Amino acid sequence: MASTSGKLMRAVQYASCGGGAAGLKHAEVPIPTPAKDEVLIKLEAISINPVNWKVQKGIMRPVLPRKFPRIPCTDVAGEIVEVGSAVKKFKAGDKVVGYLALSSEGGMAEYAAAKESSTVARPAEVSAAEGAALPVAGVTAYQALTQVAGLKLDGTGPQRNILVTAASGGVGQYAVQLAKLGNAHVTATCGARNIELVKSLGADEVLDYKTPEGAALKSPSGKKYDAVVHCTTGISWSTFEPNLSGSGKVIDLTPGPSAFMTFALKKLTFSKKQLLPLLADVKAADLECLVELVKEKKLKTVIDSTYPLSKAEDAWAKSIEGHATGKIIVEP
């Protein structure tokens, strides 16, 4: 391909914290020039994660955003069109999935520059949308279950009882499927309209979170949970605690101040039942494992909706509403 140097691309950005979907503006900006350890990707799909609009909201100030205007979104898929001088693994024409660090320029655009070290090959069996859906949501579920809950995804470990809250959301859908690969008995919570979907992902029992039983998180078969992959907010430790096994862990993926207080308290009292905040660190090795599972048809992605880049603000608003079933995808 001819050099993109000096050429412009369509992008979506925001110029200050706050503003939600209305704060997003369409602009023409220079196509990034890849650094020596980066690849330039012509994007085919971008996925939105709640952390993207939370950064816009200002929850990570003064650390992030580092500068304005900012192009949001970290999870992308597309085709490499240019590689930096030190890049060894990839060449122009390769299809890939990329993760753009929150501290770098994002991917809500036609092109993005990604570190070679956070880019993985995307086989033909994995669509751009499936690939873009994976980095934050998939790796978060993967790390919660393998690193914290101790599951072996080849199914060789002992059977554990796992609860997944908000199981029809972006992370929850992957957590249910990965837990089943790890030989777990899976209880899941979701809204009534998604119960059959969550069962189809492999959950053994599904609770409507709006019923008394669902709100209490009680397993219909009376099981105590060895680990909870907690993908939502607004559930107190006192609700979790009676449902946990003797050394049960609540892995909190959306921790607020009270979660860190509970975490500290449990440490101080040497409690075997623990609340563990988890902020995933997206690693290429984990992402490669997930891409391989998608290729092998062992892991599927539920896509809530797909929007063109010209309607990115509608996709943003849908994510902020908080009732998406699966992932929200934007296509340039």
Residues 113 and 39 both lie in one domain = yes
Q: Return all residues near 238 (Cβ < 8 A) that are at least 6 apart.
A: none
DSSP states of 219-238 as a string? -TT-PPEEEEEE-SS---HH
- Answer whether residue 57 is part of any domain: yes
Residues 153 and 221 both lie in one domain = yes
**Cβ neighbours, 10 Å, residue 176:** 29
Residues 13 and 126 both lie in one domain = yes
Kindly report the CA angle at 256 between 75 and 76, in degrees rounded to 5? Answer: 0
Residues 88 and 112 both lie in one domain = yes
Residues 31 and 82 both lie in one domain = yes
CATH number of the domain that 71 lies in? 3.90.180.10
Residues 141 and 94 both lie in one domain = no
CATH number of the domain that 252 lies in? 3.40.50.720
Q: Return all residues near 321 (Cβ < 8 A) that are at least 6 apart.
A: none
Residues 250 and 165 both lie in one domain = yes
Residues 149 and 268 both lie in one domain = yes
Residues 94 and 205 both lie in one domain = no
Q: What is the pLDDT along the chain (332 residues), one digit of tens a residue?
A: 556 777 999 999 999 999 999 999 999 999 999 999 999 999 999 999 999 999 999 988 877 888 899 999 999 999 999 999 999 999 999 999 999 999 899 999 999 999 999 999 999 999 999 999 999 999 999 999 999 999 999 999 999 999 999 999 999 999 999 999 999 999 999 999 999 999 999 999 999 999 999 999 999 999 999 999 999 999 999 999 999 999 999 999 998 777 778 878 877 777 899 999 999 999 999 999 999 999 999 999 999 999 999 999 999 999 999 999 999 999 99
- Answer whether residue 322 is part of any domain: yes
What pLDDT does 2 receive?
55
Q: How far apart are the first and last CA of the chain?
A: 19
**Tokens found for residue 245:** 């096994």
CA distance 35 to 27: 23
116 φ, ψ (degrees, to nearest 5): -55, -35
The total number of structural domains in the chain stands at 2
Residues 179 and 264 both lie in one domain = yes
Q: Return all residues near 269 (Cβ < 8 A) that are at least 6 apart.
A: none
Residues 125 and 212 both lie in one domain = no
- Give the range of the structural domain holding residue 320, as residue numbers without chain letter: 8-134+301-331
CA distance 191 to 322: 12
Residues 144 and 273 both lie in one domain = yes
- Answer whether residue 82 is part of any domain: yes
